[in-house]
Structure 1
Amino acid sequence: MKSVDHNKKIWEEKVQQQNRWTIPVTSEDIQKARAGDWSIVVTSVKPVPKTWFPDLQGKKVLCLASGGGQQGPILAAAGAEVTVLDFSESQLMQDAFVAERDELPIRTVLGSMTDLSMFVSDQFDVIVHPVSNLYVPDIQPVWQEAFRVLKPGGIFISGFMNPVFYLFDWDLQDKGILQVKHSIPYSELDYSSEEEIAKNGIALEYGHTLEQQLQGQIDAGFVIVGFYEDTFGGEKLLDRYTSSFIATRAVKPV
């Protein structure tokens, strides 16, 4: 199964269904951001610390696999020159809509997080990469490409799934039971056929190991200097016991 093509189709449908991550920020949010009152999330509910960002005025920011009209417009309103890359045309349309509505400097690019060949090396001051690498089977190209297009001294902020999230039986969780069923690294293809995945209309997800997530960034050349965890905000049974999300702040050495 071509995971990128399948997941692209799923996200086009999510926009039509008005999934939480496809709803653009409001003009009121943009006004507040222009006044210095802003925040974004790259995980689920916990905002990224303001201290993780430099002064954004005039900074070139890449929102990587970050369509939906949320992070990009806020950062643009805070003063950044924003480029949003996503594999979903409908998600990028949300960013374009906010950019036109609120007169924001946002460029949208259709593409994959694993291939940033449309950008020259050392181009961006900041890269913001919300939870999305669960949709590709190999995340090392994501780290390597992000490192290449980031300027020396640049900041890379990423959110991703804690692999513990993928351990448990999905159906039993809905019944209030946590029972280990899956192994890590996780692939939906190990437990469902391609026909079942297509029929059920679910995204094809991959639960990467912490070594792939953390050491992968280090192997690409990054120095990890910030870390926090997040939950679903009480929506999931697992929230009672542990966090399902991780965010990191990494720097490209000068």
Structure 2
Amino acid sequence: MDNKEVVKQNQLAWDKKVVNNTPWSIPVTKEEIENAKKGIFNIKLTAHKNVPRSWFPQDLNKKRILCLASGGGQQGPILAATGAIVTVFDISMNQLKQDEKVSKENNLMISTVQGDMTHLHCFKNNYFDLVFCPVSVTYIPDVLPVFKECYRVLKTGGNFLFGSANPLIYLFENKKYDKGVFEVANKLPFNSLDELNEEEKMNFLNNKEAIEYSHTLEDLIGGQTSVGFAINGFYEDVDNDKICKYSAKYFATKAVKTK
């Protein structure tokens, strides 16, 4: 599949996920919004751990923040409630509608833009103070364009907060993985269509399933430094997946645009 076909497939998949109440599409509560207005907030790049407060500017008021591939009525509204000027950019219109709904209900100022996270041409150079990108690059074939664009749109000294799945989870045969049996079957880098025959691929696509890509640690971490970012924060995270008995399933990085 070419990139446009992948984008369209994953747009449909995420619109469907919202209808099915995926955890990443459940909006924050009014209580969380009110706490954020007082400067008290928790926000996630990965599944479980909250991002350290020190990863954000002490004063978020009037800071320009891009929530990249971060729709769903979660991070954007929390950051807007702190006084930040927030733009939410996402491939899924249903995800963006969640942000618009929370924004309207809580009288928040949030801009929403639908688009492909590898193409941020609608934003000026050196515009944002912070880019917040939770686990989402797993749905695109190539991460380097994302890092290049994030670097471009950030001001010098601005921060890029990034969450990702650990590529190791894609080593294992999918059906057995879901049962807690971890049998190495796939070569990395990997995508969801690699282990399917033609009939299975057709059913997968027709059922509006999301295509996932594993990438490599060299791309996910080294890719950031290759475009000019300096990484100065890192943590790992887990969820309820059985693989987490053996290894962390996610990681997050904080990087700064140095010049």
Question: Normalising TM by the smaller chain, what interval?
Answer: over 0.9
1:236 aligns with 2:241: yes
5 Å-filtered alignment, 1:105-144, equals 105-144=109-148
TM-score after normalising by structure 2: 0.95
| SS at structure 2 position matched to 1:178 | coil
Query: Residues 40-69 of structure 1, C-alpha deviation per residue, up to 9 Å, x if partnerless?
Result: 001101000000000211100000000000
Task: Check the 8 A contact 2:147/2:223 in 1, yes or no.
Answer: yes
User: 1:198, CA displacement in angstroms?
Assistant: 1.4
User: 1:215, CA displacement in angstroms?
Assistant: 0.7
| Greater CA drift, 196-205 or 84-93 | 196-205
1:35 aligns with 2:35: no
| SS at structure 1 position matched to 2:158 | strand
Residue aligning to 1:5: 8
Identity between Structure 1 and Structure 2 (%)? 47
How many residues end up aligned between the 2 structures? 252
Give the AA of the match of 1:84.
V
5 Å-filtered alignment, 1:205-244, equals 205-232=212-239, 235-244=240-249
| Greater CA drift, 188-197 or 239-248 | 188-197
1:166 aligns with 2:173: no
Find the partner of 2:254 among 229, 236, 249.
249
Query: Residues 193-252 of structure 1, C-alpha deviation per residue, up to 9 Å, x if partnerless?
Result: 4314214542101001000001100111100000000011xx211010001101000000
| SS at structure 2 position matched to 1:188 | coil
User: 1:114, CA displacement in angstroms?
Assistant: 0.1
5 Å-filtered alignment, 1:179-198, equals 179-192=183-196, 193=198, 194-198=201-205
Task: Check the 8 A contact 2:128/2:154 in 1, yes or no.
Answer: yes
TM-score after normalising by structure 1: 0.97
Residue aligning to 1:26: 29
Find the partner of 2:17 among 14, 19, 31.
14
Query: Residues 150-191 of structure 1, C-alpha deviation per residue, up to 9 Å, x if partnerless?
Result: 000000000011101111112112333111111111112221
| Greater CA drift, 15-24 or 139-148 | 15-24
5 Å-filtered alignment, 1:51-66, equals 51-54=54-57, 55-66=59-70
Give the AA of the match of 2:52.
P
User: 1:117, CA displacement in angstroms?
Assistant: 0.2
Residue aligning to 1:203: 210
Residue aligning to 2:96: 92
Name the CA distance, whole Å, in 2 between partners of 1:24 and 1:46.
18
Aligned Cα RMSD in Å? Answer: 1.0
| SS at structure 1 position matched to 2:169 | helix
5 Å-filtered alignment, 1:147-162, equals 147-162=151-166
Give the AA of the match of 1:204.
I
Name the CA distance, whole Å, in 2 between partners of 1:7 and 1:230.
25
Give the AA of the match of 1:19.
T
Residue aligning to 1:177: 181
Residue aligning to 2:87: 83
Name the CA distance, whole Å, in 2 between partners of 1:136 and 1:199.
19
| SS at structure 1 position matched to 2:35 | helix
Name the CA distance, whole Å, in 1 between partners of 2:111 and 2:179.
44
| SS at structure 1 position matched to 2:80 | helix
Name the CA distance, whole Å, in 2 between partners of 1:134 and 1:38.
26
| SS at structure 2 position matched to 1:122 | coil
